[in-house]
Structure 1
Amino acid sequence: MITHLVPTWRVAGSRGVETAWVGLGDGELHARGRVVGTVPAPYWLSYELETGPAWITRRLRVRAESADGERELDLRQEGGRWTVNGVHRPELNGALDCDLGLSPLTATMPVLRHRLHRRPGEQDFLMALVRVPGLTVHPSPQTYTHLLPAGEGTGAGAGEAVTVRYRCGDHTGDLLLDGHGLVLDHPGLARRLP
């Protein structure tokens, strides 16, 4: 059974907004989204994200438009081998997930795979980080740690909300996630609109 969701976030990091049309089911995620950002300069971004079993990224296609023109990215992963616009990028090998910069959506895949929204644990990841709006791709070590289940200090009142700590380099943030593993609040980055 596929669950269809349409979250919209106010994204503080870009002083913009993101809406995603998400399908979750059978260990896979399919999404298409639109982003409007104003930092570092106004830009529009559209993306399509497809995972395979266990929420492992298969493909992320992104199109960005700004005053500098249009850029496109086709990021693919198959059997642990990543390509960026058809060019093999061995420094990304071993990563299972993409991370679309300033997007709260891509935190979902590693959380769901390791059920960090349901049970305690800590996991280290290598992510294929896409910086926006330039669409450059870089390896990014990250750590996710389950902190609090619903009703234990989250203040969310959402019944299934959980807090998961995210660490990447010098940045640490406590993500409030809903029962589907989608971000409700990432302080300083994004907050889901009602």
Structure 2
Amino acid sequence: MTGTTVATAHWRALDREGEDKCRLARLDSGWMLVGHARFRDGTGWAALDYVVRMGEDWRTRSADITGAYAGDTVAWKLLRKDGVWSFNGEVQAGLDGAEDVDLSFTPATNLMPLRRLPEVGRIDVTAAWLRLPGPNLGPLTQSYTRERGHLVRYTAQETEYETQLQVDEYGFVTLYPGLWEREENA
């Protein structure tokens, strides 16, 4: 079930060597992000492929991450069922109310709350935040406020991080200051 491609994105990392390529596909019963992140961090080169499945409501159902990280082969599966998150089959405490997954190594997963963001207004969400090195999984409380057009104020409570994102008509980030920039001719 590969779906019909709706949009694609290609980002280059601004804070390290790296890139991410992703496509958004429409499925019969929702949406799917399929991406390929390649980057260097403190553990060396990483090659991570991800598939994120969402319902019609743009809330995450599951995410699979496979590839190589920190010299190891990885196969991580996140699943949200009836509001309960599991990681590789183990129920995860502390993620009550999390509706999205946030993969720290890609801007692609900002898409879900951005698709739910009204044309004027704000949305507050909690994500199951997969951080590297690790993997470490915990909650990330986020706010998205549309300031005007394609400019969105983003804050993350746990990290006290705040920035202004630029987004396209599909909800993909085009500029994540200091972290990611969309390649236009990808």
SS of alignment partner, residue 42 of structure 1: strand
Runs of 5+ unmatched residues, structure 1: 150-161
Q: Tell me the alpha carbon deviations over residues 62-95 of structure 1, each in whole angstroms, 9 at most, x when there is no partner.
A: 0241353112210010121111111111311211
Structure 1's 175 and 72: CA in aligned 2 closer, same or farther, altered over 3 A?
same
Q: Which has a greater percent of strand?
A: 2
Identity of aligned residues (%): 28
2:155 is the alignment partner of 1:167 = yes
**Aligned match for 2:90, one of 87, 94, 108:** 87
Q: Which runs of 5+ in 2 are unaligned?
A: none
Q: TM-score, normalised by structure 1?
A: 0.85
Q: Does the residue aligned with 1:107 lie in a helix, a strand or coil?
A: helix
Instruction: Indicate if the aligned counterparts of 2:38 and 2:46 stay in contact, CA closer than 8 A.
Output: yes
Map 1:21-170 to 2 at 5 A: 21-24=23-26, 28-40=30-42, 41-115=44-118, 119-149=119-149, 162-168=150-156, 169-170=159-160
Any conservation in 2 of the 1:166–1:172 contact (CA below 8 Å)? Answer: yes
1:178 maps to what in 2? 168
For 2:139 and 2:123, how far apart are their aligned partners in 1? 16
Number of equivalences: 179
Q: Which amino acid aligns with 1:103?
A: T
Give the whole-Å Cα distance in 2 for the aligned partners of 1:127 and 1:181: 17
Root mean square deviation, CA, Å:
2.0
Question: TM-score, normalised to structure 2's length?
Answer: 0.88
**Preserved contact between residue 144 and residue 153 of structure 2 (Cα < 8 Å):** yes
What secondary structure, in the 3-state scheme, does the structure 1 residue paired with 2:112 have? helix
